[in-house]
Structures are given as C-alpha cells and as structure tokens.
A and B are shown apart, each in its own frame.
Chain A
Amino acid sequence: QSVLTQPPSVSGAPGQTVTISCTGSSSNIGAAYGVNWYQQLLGTAPKLLIYGNSNRPSGVPDRLSGSKSGTSASLAITGLQAEDEADYYCQSYDSRLSGWVFGGGTKLTV
C-alpha cells in the first residue's frame, strides 16, 4: 500500500489528453512539499518528468504538465503519442515518515 495513491491504469488514443492523479495527505502533498513525476519505460530507470509540482527539466516536451491543489496533484499529457506508453510515478516528501514517498504507479496505454 503506497503512501500516495494513483490509479493503476489509464488509457487514451493517439492525439488525446490523459490525466493521472496522485492523492496524498496533510503530511506530504498537503504540507506544501513539491510533487515530482517520473516516467519509467520497461526495463529502464525512472526518468524525471516534472519537478516542484509543475516544472519541466530540459528536454521534456511541453505536452506534459503538472499541477497541484491541496492534498492532490495531477500529470496531464496532451497530444498522446505511442512513445508515451509507460509507467508513471508521483513522489513527494512526507514529514511524518521523514523521507520520500512514491505513488504505486500508473500504467499508461496508448
């Protein structure tokens, strides 16, 4: 049971928009810690997609965006492409656990 809750799977057709939710609590997302998002392709290490709730590292397309409100955060992917098919994880810091926590991951099918 992960501290942050994500839907196990989402799907969308090429060109469509999907949103992945991440729900936490007052000791993590709700405590104003940043939310980070990672993409993991099969057999590879996670890749940072969004940091500090809504910032994209260099090289990440602006089709991807992050937002946060209260104890929840979301990752939106517009203009879906086949290459977006992967697992996505949210992450934040938890003050009660004094460490980093992750969501259980969401499998995106395009």
Chain B
Amino acid sequence: QVQLQQWGAGLLKPSETLSLNCAMYGGSFSGFHWIWIRQTPGKGLEWIGEITHSGSTNYKSSLRSRVTISVDPSKNQFSLKLRSVTDADTAIYYCTRNSAADYYFSGMDVWGQGTTVTVSS
C-alpha cells in the first residue's frame, strides 16, 4: 500500500531554516496534491501548504513569506522549507496527500509518521 516516509532536522535555532522531505512509496505520484500539516498543543492541526506533481503551489497566507514547498516527481518526493523559524514554529510536522480529482471531498488518506521539530536557542 501507499506509504509516506519523512525526514529532516529536528532541532533548530531561531532564525534558521526548517527543511523536511517526504517520499512516497507504493503508488502513483501524479493525480494528487502533496501537503504539509503541522500540529502544536496550542493551535492544533494547521495546514501549511501544498504542491501538485507538476509544481503548482498554494500556501497558508500567514506563512507565505517564509515557506517554500518543492517537488521532485522523478524521485516521488516533495519538500518543505520554512525560513527564519522562531519558537512558534515548534511542532510536529506531517506530510500527507489529497486527491486532485475529488479535491474538496476526498480527505487526506495517507500520512507520514511525523517529525518533531523543536526551535530553541
């Protein structure tokens, strides 16, 4: 079955850049939006942004100035970069996907295992 495997640095200092990667195994990479979500005790689940396999992006407006999501279809991978992190960016980060064909009604059916990112001086 389809699996998402994510990795990246878990401890950052303020002002550094968060960098996470997510690889898909066992399915088709096209036909989906590839998404980053984060979770904090205070703000719950928060959509960060997403990208299609052809590279079209959509970001949460409050994060747009600091976020870049990129895709490498040849490797079935996509990545998240979040610049100038602060302690408010401390969270568990998840990669997931959503069907492009039924975008508003299909749900996010496969999730990565999550990466705990801590921002601390």
Chain A: CB-nearest residue to B59: A99
Q: How far is the CB of B96 from chain A (nearest CB, A)?
A: 8
Chain A: CB-nearest residue to B98: A100
Is the pair A52, B105 in contact by a Cβ cutoff of 8 Å? yes
Known contacts A36-B107, A45-B94, A93-B104; A105/B61 CB under 8 A: no
A27 to B51, CA, bound (A): 22
* Interface-centre pick from B45, B61, B109, B111 (highest chain A CB count, 10 A): B45
Is the pair B107, A46 in contact by a Cβ cutoff of 8 Å? no
Find residues 82-120 in chain B having any chain A CB closer than 8 Å to their own CB.
94, 96, 102-109, 111-114
Find residues 70-98 in chain A having any chain B CB closer than 8 Å to their own CB.
89, 91, 93, 97-98
Is the pair A52, B47 in contact by a Cβ cutoff of 8 Å? no
A36 to B105, CA, bound (A): 8
A80 to B52, CA, bound (A): 39
A99 to B94, CA, bound (A): 16
Chain A: CB-nearest residue to B49: A99
Q: Please list 26 pairs of residues, one from A and one from B, whose beta carbons are closer than 8 Å in the complex, sorted by A's number.
A: A33-B104, A34-B104, A45-B111, A45-B114, A46-B45, A46-B108, A46-B111, A48-B107, A48-B108, A50-B107, A51-B106, A51-B109, A52-B102, A52-B106, A57-B109, A89-B44, A89-B45, A91-B45, A93-B104, A97-B60, A97-B61, A99-B47, A99-B49, A99-B58, A102-B47, A105-B44
